[in-house]
Amino acid sequence: MATPTTAPTPAALRAYAPGRVNLLGEHTDYTGGMVLPMAVPFATQATLTPLSEPVWQFTSAQFKGNRTLPVGSLPEPAGDWSDYTVGVLRMLMENGLSFPGFHLHLDGDVPFGAGLSSSASVEVATACALLRFILQRMTVEKLAVLCRRAENEFAQSPCGIMDQFVITAATAGHALLLDTGTLKYEHLPLNTGALADARIVICNSMVRHSVAAGEYAVRHRQVMEGQAALVAVTPGARSLGTITLDQLERARATMAEISFRRCRHIVSENARVELARAAMFTGDPVSLGQLMHASHVSQRDDFECSCPETDFLVDTAMQQPGCYGARLTGGGFGGCIVALVAANACESFAPALRVAYQQRFAVAAQTYLCQAADGAVQRNWPHGDNA
């Protein structure tokens, strides 16, 4: 059996997938709602080297431990980092694809546990590498759905479709408006009107979260219980993504109060995403920033997925000159906030956040000034080729 090596050979191929930050539309994607993310210039690189031996090998620069499987075997979860990449292999096999021996090595700079979709980045990079290896392609929709299945069914994380979709389909300079109920999407420009003079700043609280367990799973259950109660008494309703706040209010007595509040966040968040579309086409950073901050208040009070550290960062950001709006992003319970900031204020904005956070929590927060990046399809098949 060959010994895994991190050094690519002349026969190796590489595939890339970015991380993402969500500007608006948090916890709406698993209920058929609207989301407004963009890809960020952090990425996972999957390097695939063909092997003559009949084995599949998986290694990572970030995580300890290797995974080796016989070619043709049916992979099962191992309960570690490898589930996010081996799960993709399993889903591709279930789609009728087969693979000779290979060594797949992961590396990259998407921060882990920060809410910037490191897991989905791994999944999409893995899928692109494996597809390129056997000279195959998939549509954006099919690739995103397959990678989400890997996370839901193999890694046992109850995420929606947003992360995998934007990481696959994003275009530089644009946010992606996605209807997660229909998978219809639209690229919205970030350079119209006064919005062209605004920038996206991310601040990592350094509080790690895990969407595979804990409070995220509890919120998911509460939402699903509320949605089921709502659909049962609302004619024509299919999901929270298809109803209004008035309809939700009329169904309030049919669900637990905690489920009502979770659902109210989601329904109001869908409305905010719709309003954000208009603000982006008119190039209005003030309106977009107000919607972002309203989203944070809703996450903090109705969905209760914030924490003292991220609340402090949002409050501090909103006090800084040139900040149009800020919110918790990426599922919550730690992770990052995202802020919309005037370009001429960015030089002072990020240091002010870091200093205030250090003084309050004795933790060195990390800040990133980000531009909207290309997704995996643009990175791996820029000219539409199959290899």
Catalytic center residues: 163
Does residue 94 come out as left (phi exceeding 0), alpha (psi in the -120 to 50 range) or beta? alpha
> How open is the CA angle 321-326-328, to the nearest 5 degrees?
150
Query: At which residue do the structure tokens 């990425």 appear?
Result: 43
- Write out the two tokens for 89: 């292999």
Structure tokens, 375:
């997704």
Quick one: CA dihedral 301, 305, 311, 313, positive or negative? Answer: negative
Phi (first) and psi of residue 326, to 5 degrees: -150, 155
Residue 311's nearest CA partner among 243, 377, 361, 371 is: 361
97: tokens are 């694809």
Number of neighbouring beta carbons within 10 Å of residue 129? 27
Exposure b/e, 161-177, CB count within 10 A at least 16 = b:
bbbbbbbbbbbbebbbb
Vertex 85: Cα angle to 330 and 6 (nearest 5): 110
**What is the number of H-type helices and E-type strands within the chain?**
11, 11
Query: What is the rounded (10 degree) CA torsion for 25, 27, 29, 30?
Result: -170
Residue pair 188/280 in contact by the 8 Å Cβ criterion: yes
Q: How far apart are CA 164 and CA 238, in angstroms?
A: 23
Q: Cβ(21)–Cβ(372) under 8 Å?
A: no
Give the whole-angstrom CA distance, residue 302 versus residue 4. 48
